[in-house]
Chains A and B, each alone.
Chain A
Amino acid sequence: MSDILVSEQSAPGADGSGRPSGRLLEVDDLRVEFRTRDGVAKVINGVTYHVDAGETLAVLGESGSGKSVTAQTIMGILDTPPGFVTGGQVRFHGKDMLTMSPEQRRRIRGEGIAMIFQDSLSALNPVFTVGFQIAEQFRIRRGMSRSDAKKRAIEMLDQVKIPNAKGRFSNYPHQFSGGMRQRAMIAMSLALDPEVLIADEPTTALDVTVQAQIMDLLGELQRERQMGMILITHDLGVVADVADRIAVMYAGRIVEEADVYDLYRKPAHPYTLGLLNSIPRMDEKGQELRTIKGLPPNLMNIPPGCAFNPRCPMAQPVCREKVPPLLQLGNGRASACHFAEELVNRD
């Protein structure tokens, strides 16, 4: 896959130096809006993140913060209209996918970047057997014969630890349990050996014991294949278990980016701090939870200045006037808060 792309002229890196950044996948100042009858919702307002081979970036945020829309834009499956990309780039091996030909994009999908979804039941086609759906990819994209494709599909099912893979090949999706369907979807997305895997809330619909199995499996496959993984989730527990780095989203922006240990030890954005305080902790039984007051903003009417200011306990007058840029704080940390330095330097 990568040789096709690298053989062409690489786009300039994010630092504007004109050199390729050497990054696997980069989202750079992405902007997306939905134009609906009720108005224009500014859903993605300058998202910047990247993932390299072998690492797991967790994108953490509450519902509606734009995690999935960013992923859909990367995959080229944004619902257009009403969704429109109004700015930014999505670079795969340094090359902007948003300006590629549809043919080039199609090639990247599946082989370069693959995605798994929260809802495995609607992501798998109910009228075809699970095995057939995986084998099709080998036939269409790799030109394999029927019997070779079947063999490879069974291998894939086996790799995601579906017991009796051979026998299960001809089952339909509804004959699988939720956990097994999620495994089948993982098998399908990894069939073409992608370099990047985007997992959008892959375990949100599952029970904790099954969630643990699936997260184990994803971690194992990612290490084996040295994939870059973007794990989209709202679960602060799952993130702490598996992420290398975390990007926190709020109202269509990354408000904080940090190494997983730094983020939990000392958040550099009041929203992250609020989230960590909101989770019920086993060791603070009986105490009132410290909540974030209010609600996320209406994306058709985002407050001026810092989008978080109406809910922020630290807000100052400047927060209503100036949008805080996502500032680098060193050590791969970044925060979009006017008072980030103070937050990191507190004891």
Chain B
Amino acid sequence: MTENIIEVRDLVKHYPVTRGVVFKKTIGHVKAVDGVSFDLKAGETLGVVGESGCGKSTLARVLMNLEKPTGGQVLYKGQDISKLSGGALRRLRRQIQLVMQDPYTSLNPRMTVGDLIGEPFEIHPEVAPRGSRRTKVKELLDLVGLNPEHINRYPHQFSGGQRQRIGIARALALRPEVIVCDEPVSALDVSIQAQVMNLLEKLQGEFGLSYVFIAHDLSVVRHLSDRVAVMYLGKMVEIGTEDEIYERPTHPYTQALLSAVPVPDPTVRESKAIIRLQGDVPSPVSPPSGCRFRTRCWKAQDVCAQEVPLLQIRPGSDHPSACHFAEKREIVVTHDAA
């Protein structure tokens, strides 16, 4: 049995919505993450997919301990991260690192690449004594496929893909166990995206990293992930191995999402059945009662408005799904042109 490196239990993150300037009055809450549970095993990649605003980045920030949860827990090797302080907190900060989407804004433009990648060593000098830092940074540059000679250059002198490599080198500096990647390749062009994805895979093999890989591109997620979690409006609606999610999805939302992915093969145009969802995602301030997907679901029944469907394995399926009527359905997602 592989050990769980991170365990997330009933995680909730609400943001107050206020009105008034002087006398702020809370008039509601954005339920950005609203009761999410999952495990991350050592050495695995867990993909997290879902549409804009469903709570992916919020989840990332709470996992990183950048924000305190409103409820529930994130356990790192059994310890509640929001209760850590002092040395224990510093050790945790070393072990979990973040790579963000935007390679243009996530790097300080006034720092050289050497300073950017070496910065984590300032906070954690035990990892690299001062004298060895330049060598370490050059090793990191080499590791992520950048020229070590470019150590004195500034971020604007690099392309988007290269800046993403700088971000990855920085995340790797402290030899973490877990890297949370929030849309790490979404801003990149296809050919560059492939280079960065290969790099992430190579590094995982080399260092035994665990990834939480957040993205909205379902093909990218499938390529990299061992397991995949699907989010909708602050909740996880389905979770399973990449095969279970992509070949045998049972939640209507997952099915609709997969069916809408454009397939890069014109010959499947006619045979593809896209499930057309009606309307937009409701507001996370006042999500629908019962099942949050019911306002757009073609299978909704009365019970869907009354009972929140739990994320659990149901008869006839092999993985957890949060739908009262979870069942398989054929979808063309793959193509075997060569």
Given contacts A208-B262, A216-B276, 7 further A-B contacts (CB under 8 A): A208-B218, A209-B256, A209-B257, A209-B260, A211-B260, A278-B194, A280-B223
Fill in one digit per residue for B188-223: 1 if any A CB lies within 8 Å of its CB, else 0: 011111110110010000000000000010111011
A38 within 8 A of B: no
Q: Which residues of A contact B223 (CB under 8 A)?
A: 280-281, 285-286, 289
Residues of A within 8 A of B280 (CB): 177, 179-180, 210
Complex A-B: 19 CB contacts under 8 Å: A208-B218, A210-B51, A210-B280, A211-B262, A212-B276, A234-B189, A235-B262, A237-B262, A260-B266, A265-B337, A276-B264, A279-B190, A279-B194, A280-B219, A280-B220, A280-B223, A281-B264, A288-B201, A291-B195
User: Is B161 engaged at the interface, CB distance under 8 Å to the other chain?
Assistant: yes
Identify B266's interface contact among A178, A213, A234, A261, CB under 8 A. A261
- Determine the chain A residues whose CB is within 8 A of the CB of B333 once the complex forms: 282
Q: How large is the interface on B (under 10, 10 to 19, 20 to 34, 35 or more residues)?
A: 35 or more
Chain B residues lying within 8 Å of A62, measured Cβ to Cβ, are: 189-192
Give me the interface of B with A, judged by CB distance under 8 Å: 51-52, 159, 161-162, 189-195, 197-198, 201, 216, 218-220, 222-223, 242, 246, 256-257, 260-267, 269, 274, 276-277, 279-280, 333-337
**Residue in contact with B197 in the complex, picked from A180, A208, A289, CB distance below 8 Å:** A289
**How many Å lie between the Cα of A240 and that of B194 in the bound state?**
19
* Contact A278-B190, Cβ < 8 Å, known A208-B218, A264-B266: yes
Q: How many residues of A contact B (CB 8 A)?
A: 46
Q: Could you give, for residues 157-197 of chain A, a 1 whenever the CB lies within 8 Å of some chain B CB and a 0 otherwise?
A: 00000010000000000000111100000000000000000
Task: Indicate which residue in B190, B192, B222 contacts A295 across the interface (CB closer than 8 Å).
Answer: B192
Q: Is the CB of B267 within 8 A of A236?
A: no
**B296 closest partner in A (C-beta):** A209
B49 to chain A, nearest CB (A): 10
With A208-B218, A216-B276 known as contacts, the answer to whether A281 contacts B335 (CB < 8 A) is yes
Residue on A with the closest CB to B223? Answer: A280
Instruction: Please state if A261 and B257 are interface contacts (CB–CB under 8 Å).
Output: no
A62-B190, A288-B198, A291-B194 known; A240 vs B265 contact (CB < 8 Å): yes
A residues bordering B, Cβ < 8 Å?
62-63, 163, 177-180, 207-213, 215-216, 234-241, 243, 260-261, 264-265, 274-276, 278-283, 285-286, 288-292, 295
A274 to B277, CA, bound (A): 34
Decide: A241 near B269, CB < 8 A? Known: A285-B242, A291-B191, A295-B161.
yes
Min Cβ gap B217→A in Å is 8
A240 and B262 within 8 A (CB): yes
A212–B261 Cα distance when bound, in Å, is 8
Q: A209-B256, A240-B263 are in contact. Are A282 and B219 (CB under 8 A)?
A: yes
Point out the residues of chain B lying under 8 angstroms from A264, CB to CB.
Answer: 264-267, 337
Nearest residue in B to A288 (C-beta to C-beta)?
Answer: B198
Q: Is A279 touching B264 in the complex (CB atoms < 8 A)?
A: yes
- Do A291 and B198 contact each other (CB < 8 Å), given the known contacts A209-B277, A275-B191? yes
Once the chains bind, are B52 and A240 in contact (CB under 8 Å)? Answer: no
User: Are the CB atoms of B190 and A207 closer together than 8 Å?
Assistant: no
A225 and B260 alpha carbons, distance in the complex (Å): 25
Q: How far is the CB of B216 from chain A (nearest CB, A)?
A: 7
- Option from A63, A208, A216, A275 in Cβ contact (under 8 Å) with B257: A208
What's the Cα separation between A178 and B51 when bound, in Å? 12
> Which chain B residues lie closer than 8 Å to A288 at the CB level?
198, 201
Most buried by A among B191, B269, B280: B191
- How far apart are the CA atoms of A106 and B277 in the complex, in Å? 39
Would you give the shortest CB distance from A282 to chain B, in whole angstroms? 4
Contact across chains for A274 and B262 when beta carbons are under 8 A apart? no
| Closest partner residue, chain B, to A287 (CB atom) | B223
Q: Once the chains bind, are B189 and A241 in contact (CB under 8 Å)? A: no
Residue of B nearest to A206 (CB): B52
List chain A residues, Cβ under 8 A from B191: 62, 274-275, 278, 291-292
The smallest beta-carbon distance between A60 and chain B, in angstroms, is 10
Report the minimum CB–CB distance from B20 to chain A (whole Å). Answer: 21
Shortest beta-carbon distance from A57 to chain B in Å: 14
Task: Collect the chain A residues with CB atoms within 8 Å of residue B256's CB.
Answer: 209
Q: Which residues of B contact A295 (CB under 8 A)?
A: 159, 161-162, 192
**Cα-based distance from A260 to B267 in the complex (angstroms):** 9
Contacts of A207 in B (CB 8 A): 51-52, 216
Q: How far is the CB of B19 from chain A (nearest CB, A)?
A: 17
Min CB–CB distance B194 → chain A (angstroms): 4
In the complex, A243 Cα to B266 Cα: how many Å?
9
A235 — which chain B residues lie within 8 A by C-beta? 262
Q: Which residues of B contact A265 (CB under 8 A)?
A: 337
Q: How far is the CA of A315 from the CA of B177 in the complex (A)?
A: 42
Q: Which of A212, A216, A236 has the most CB of B within 10 A?
A: A212
B170: min CB distance to chain A, Å: 21
